[in-house]
């Protein structure tokens, strides 16, 4: 929304303690939810496509359908594959499990997550070496999706940046965008971010 | 693709026995993959949006961005929520586990799946009572996504249609479409479909 120069107010919700009114806004009970002028747009997929369709000025996808398909393939990669292989094993294990269930993370599950993360970092590194951004048509919603997923793992200090120079250079470009600088000020209550988290040089 | 009057050839792949060349077409190794004229479009999300963007005649989404957002919300519902709550507990348990691991389904997991399925059927029934189709703008990709997910559970004979009259009427309309009649001829090797599976009256 910042990339599209929209003004908005964020509402904080703890996913492990979902308030009842969320189900009135989105029957699936999941986030994100975008509310404006009495309209409700629910879910990553619907919101990102809606913002792109209704904004004619700050486009985050090119016109060419094949280029758009490549961007959407990568968004699905991060929302599904990265989520299942990395997020669930690292972030859900360290954050949701702690605040939702009061339990400590299982080191075997974390190890699976770290191994998978290396595989994903290799892929990001390879894409960024060829394209500067994730796709060859420039900065897009694919970069935002990837960086959003990565930043929470980075908050926990678990991204091995130094082994992936192209990915690191790409992420420093994303971090320096005004939209992303604001996001990096956000914190998880009770967990301090890794020391390098908000640094543009890391 | 049939709804868009495209001619195509299907290639059969067993998800529990993925051939290596699938990874060359889609690095995530997941299906579906759409190949034409040397182009590769990979994943539900990219393919369905690509087909809709490049076909001007047989539209499966209306022009209005809010109506499109509602369709996409429901597609995400079925691809994520239905998939995790129903498909994984019933289809993955009965089919993938059998052919992939040679194991019998776990009745406790199946029971969770059947309970979740009732909740999803209630929601489909409620939507169809208001709209005839899943959204009030008529037949759309949301109906195709929902029917695709449901049909595999129906193949196994596990959908309690008689408790959900509006959902049943909706599904009989989907089944009578030429595009869907062809799909219903498809079978899973080694598992016979439920007796009513291809019947338009069920």
Residue pLDDT, tens place only, B159-188: 999 999 999 999 999 999 999 998 898 888
Strand pairing report for B39-42 and A33-36? unpaired
pLDDT for A6-20, tens place per residue?
Answer: 999 999 888 788 899
Let me know if residue B189 belongs to a domain.
no
For chain A, give the mean pLDDT. 94
Go through B7-42 and write b for each residue having 16 or more CB atoms within 10 A of its CB, e for each that does not: eeeeeeeeeeeeeeebeeebebbbeebbeeeeebbb
Q: Which residues of B fall within a CB distance of 8 Å from A77?
A: 28, 43
Residues B154 and B169 both lie in one domain? yes
Residue A44 and residue A87 in one domain: no
Percent of chain A scoring above 90 in pLDDT:
86
Of B39, B65, B81, the CB nearest to A50: B65
State whether B80 and B132 are in the same domain.
yes
Contact B45 A123 (CB under 8 A): no
Per-residue 3-state assignment (H helix, E strand, C coil) for chain A: CCCCCCCCCCCCCCHHHCCCHHHHHCCCCCCCEEEECCEEEECHHHHHHHHHHHCCCCCCCCCCHHHHHHHHHHHHHHHHHHHHHHHHHHHHHHHHHHHHHCCCCCHHHHHHHHHHHHHHHHHHHHHHHHHCCCCCCCCCHHHHHHHHHHHHHHHCCCCCHHHCHHHHHHHHHHHCCHHHHHHCCCCECCECCCCCCCCCCC
Q: Using the beta-carbon criterion (under 8 Å), do B70 and A26 form an inter-chain contact?
A: no
**Are B117 and B170 in a shared domain?**
yes
User: What's B28's domain CATH number?
Assistant: 3.40.30.10
Whether residue B95 is contained in a domain is answered as yes
Q: Which residues of A touch B46 (CB under 8 A)?
A: 68-70, 72-73, 76
CATH code: domain of residue B135:
1.20.1050.10
- A193 is a domain residue: no
Q: What is the model's pLDDT at position B189?
A: 83
The reply to whether B144 falls in a domain is: yes
Compare CB distances from A73 to B42, B54, B70 and report the shortest one's residue.
B42
Residues B51, B141 within the same domain? no
pLDDT in tens, B22-35: 999 999 999 999 99
Structural domain containing residue A146? 65-183
* Distance (Å) from the alpha carbon of B95 to chain A's nearest alpha carbon: 21
Domain final residue, candidates B59, B79, B104: B59
Task: Indicate whether B10 and B91 sit together in one domain.
Answer: no
Interface of B with A (CB under 8 A): 26-28, 30, 39, 41-47, 49-50, 53-54, 65-66, 68-70, 72-73, 75-77, 80-81, 123
- Is there a domain that residue A191 lies in? no
**Together in a domain, B69 and B127:** yes
CA A59 from centroid of its chain's CA atoms: 19
**Residues B92 and B178 occupy one common structural domain:** yes
A-B C-beta contacts closer than 8 Å: 81
Tally of domains in chain B: 2
pTM: 0.94
Structural contact between residues B174 and B124, judged by C-beta atoms closer than 8 angstroms: no
Is there a single domain that holds both residue B85 and residue B130? yes
Q: How confident is the model at residue B16 (pLDDT cuts 50, 70, 90)?
A: confident
pLDDT value at A201 more than 90: no
Residues B69 and B32 in one domain: no
**Please, which residues have CB within 8 angstroms of residue A89's CB and are 6 or more apart in sequence?**
A109, A110, A112, A113, A116
Same domain? B162 vs B139: yes
| Structural domain contains residue B179 | yes
| Closest by Cα among A188, A192, A194 to A15 | A188
pLDDT of A167 > 90? The answer is: yes
Is there a domain that residue A189 lies in? no
My answer on whether A54 and A76 are in the same domain is no
What is the pLDDT confidence band of residue B129, given thresholds at 50, 70 and 90? very high
């Amino acid at each position: 929304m910042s990339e599209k120069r929209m003004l908005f107010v964020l509402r904080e919700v703890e996913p492990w303690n979902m308030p009842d009114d969320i189900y009135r806004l989105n029957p699936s009970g999941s986030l994100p939810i975008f509310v404006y002028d009495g309209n409700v747009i629910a879910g990553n997929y619907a919101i990102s496509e809606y913002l792109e369709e209704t904004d004619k000025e700050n486009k985050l996808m090119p016109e060419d359908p094949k280029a758009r398909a490549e961007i959407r393939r990568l968004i699905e990669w991060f929302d599904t594959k990265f989520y299942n292989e990395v997020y669930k094993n690292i972030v859900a294990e360290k954050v949701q499990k702690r605040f939702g269930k009061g339990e400590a993370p299982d080191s075997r599950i974390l190890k699976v997550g770290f191994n998978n993360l290396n595989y994903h970092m290799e892929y990001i590194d390879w894409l960024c070496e060829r394209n500067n951004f994730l796709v060859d048509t420039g900065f897009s919603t694919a970069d935002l999706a990837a960086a959003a997923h990565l930043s929470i793992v980075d908050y926990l200090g678990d991204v091995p940046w130094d082994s992936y120079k192209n990915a690191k250079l790409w992420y420093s470009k994303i971090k320096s965008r005004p939209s992303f600088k604001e996001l990096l000020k956000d914190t998880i209550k009770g967990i301090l971010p890794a020391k390098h988290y908000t640094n543009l040089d890391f």
